[in-house]
Amino acid sequence: PTIYVITPTYARPNQLSELNRLRAVLLHVPRLWWVLVEDREERSAVISNFLASSGLQYTHLAQPTPQEWKQQDNSPRWRRPRGVLQRNAGIAWLRHNCPPYTAAVAYFADDDNSYAIELFDQMRWTQKVSVWPVGLVGGVMLERPVCLCLGDGHPSIVTDWMVGWKASRKFPTDMAGFAVSVALLITKTDAEFSHDSKIGYLETDFLSKLVETKDLEPRANCCTKVLVWHMNAKKPLLKEEMKLRELGRRTDVGIVV
Ligand code: UGA
C-alpha cells in the first residue's frame, strides 16, 4: 500500500527549515506520496520549487483558512484549530484521485513534528484506523492507547487511553497518533475535520465518524514505543533583522530562507 502523507503548512520565517526536516525523513520511506497543502489562496513559487527538487512524489495544493478562523496574535495559541481546511482539501484530493478499493493509507503529518523513519512501517498495513503513542504532547511525556495484544491469531485491541488532558474524549489522541485507510475515507463521505469541533476535539470528532474503539489497530509494539513527537518550534528571533529592514538593509533580498 501507498502511504499518503497530508501536511498543512503556512508561510513563516522557519517554514522551509521545518519542511526540509520532514522531507529528510520522508525520503527514507518507500511508496510514499506527499500531499502538501498550503494555507493560502494560490500555490506559492517557493513551495513549488521546494517540492520540484524534493526527490519525493507529491501533490501540491492550496487552501486558505478564512480570516475569521485565523489565530489572533494576542489570543492563547490553542484557541483556534489549525490546519483544518488544508487537511480536508487533502482528503478531497484522495477521494477524487484514488480508486474506491485502493490499498492505501492516509497520515496527517504536521510540518513541525519529529518523526522516526520506522513510524511509517507501522502504519502501512492499516485496515481501518491504526493507532500508536505520541511523545511530548498534552502536557505529559507521552499519550498512548492502552492495548491488549495476545499475539498470533488474536486481534489486538485498545482497552483504554493514558492521557493527562481531557481523558473523557472518545479518542483522546493527537493528530500524529493515527493513520486511516484511504478506502475507509472514500466510503465514509462525511468524514472530515471541522472548525466547529471544541478545542481539543478535532481528532476525536473526526475519528468518531470513521470507527468504533473496537476497530482500532494498535501498532508500535502494542503501543509501547514512541516513534513520533509533537513539537512546537521556538519562533525565530529576528530583532536585528527588523532593525536592518527599517534601514532598508534586509538580509534576504533575492534569497529564499
Ligand atoms: C495540535 C495538533 O498536533 C495539530 O495537529 C492540531 O491541528 C492542532 O493542535 C489544533 O488543534 O488545531 P499545534 O501545535 O497546536 O498542534 O498546531 P501546529 O503544529 O502549530 O499546526 C498544525 C498544522 O497546521 C501544521 O502543519 C501547521 O503548519 C498548519 N497550520 C498552522 C496552518 O496550515 N495554518 C496556520 O495558520 C497554522
Is 126 a pocket residue for ligand 1 (Cβ < 6 Å)?
no
Interface ipTM: 0.97
Q: Please write the tens of the pLDDT for every residue from 51-79.
A: 999 999 999 999 999 988 887 666 655 56
Q: 2-246 has which CATH code?
A: 3.90.550.10
What integer pLDDT is reported at residue 101 of this predicted model?
Answer: 87
Residue 34 has pLDDT above 60, yes or no: yes
C-alpha cell at 42: 494560490
Helices (H) and strands (E) in the chain, counts: 8, 12
In sequence order, which residues have a C-beta less than 8 Å from that of residue 158 and are 6 or more positions away?
A: 131, 145, 146, 147, 213, 216, 218, 223
- Which residues share a beta bridge with 160? 146
pLDDT mean over 28-36: 98
Q: From the CA of 27, how far away is ligand 1's center (Å)?
A: 23
Residue 173 has pLDDT above 70, yes or no: yes
Q: What are the residue numbers of the active site? A: 203
Of 25, 180, 238, 39, residue with least CA distance to 113: 25
- What's the distance, CA 195 to chain centroid? 16
Residue 175: CB within 6 Å of ligand 1?
A: yes
Return the CA Rg of the chain.
19
How large is the average pLDDT for residues 139-143? 97
